[in-house]
Chains A and B, each alone.
Chain A
Amino acid sequence: MPRVRWPLEHDRPVVHVQFIETAAGHRETRMLLADTGAGGLYAPFELIVRASDCQRYMGLRSSDDVILGGAIIGTYPIYAVRVEIPALSVARRVRAVAVSDTACPAGMDGIACFRFLSSFTYGNFGDRRRFGLEIARP
């Protein structure tokens, strides 16, 4: 199975994804905190990212907003954005909640939530200084 691993960032697990601009195809890499405590398996969102990134990379918008509580509180819009993880040959649109810069974890571009992580096999794969994703078995 294809697998990719990244070094921990300030001792925390991260994933690196590329955001793709639908019209121009322009892409930029974003580093997201891998957080299994962000939302549930059936949450209507997969990532939490800066509103400016959502505006730039959005393809469409959810007709309804989502209510967050805990570390991030409030009602926020959800956008569909195209992301890629080239090492895994993954390219798909994901549901991203748009939040203010200050709501993002310090030093990160956002959060990869449990619904996103659970679409892969995830973990340290035997190296506690890294975090990685593997294409989930069917």
Chain B
Amino acid sequence: MRTLEEEREQARELGRQINREARRNPNSPYAGKVIGILRGEVVIVADTLDEVAEVLERLEPDAQRRYFIDASADYDAQYTIWMQGSCQE
């Protein structure tokens, strides 16, 4: 059985492959979908995070081993937080 860290690295690598494919090719079966990953394999491709979570929660009791990726999201970008009132009071 793989360690948590090994599974995490596997999921990260697979997620990046899927993300690259979906962002490069709008006709990819992954484009615009949420992908569920368990033990380094895709187990569900769905339209919503709820659908993915329900399947993964049924198949894997350990929350630390359940992964998802938004196939078409940009994880390389930096997202700015223009927090109002960010000066500590």
**B-binding residues in A (CB < 8 A):** 10, 12, 22, 33, 35, 37-40, 42-45, 48, 58-72, 80, 82, 92-95, 105-107, 111
Contacts and interface: CB of A to CB of B under 8 A. Distances in A.
A30 to B, nearest CB: 17
Contact of B53 (A59, A65, A67): A59
Given A60-B53, A63-B12, 14 more contacts: A37-B81, A38-B82, A60-B52, A62-B68, A63-B69, A64-B15, A64-B69, A67-B76, A67-B77, A67-B78, A67-B79, A71-B86, A80-B68, A95-B70
> Dominant SS at the B interface?
mixed
B52 to A, nearest CB: 7
29 contacts: A12-B84, A22-B63, A33-B84, A37-B82, A40-B79, A43-B73, A43-B79, A44-B70, A44-B73, A48-B81, A59-B56, A59-B57, A60-B66, A60-B67, A61-B64, A61-B67, A63-B37, A63-B67, A67-B79, A68-B81, A69-B79, A71-B81, A71-B86, A82-B53, A92-B50, A93-B50, A94-B49, A106-B85, A111-B81
Contacts, number: 124
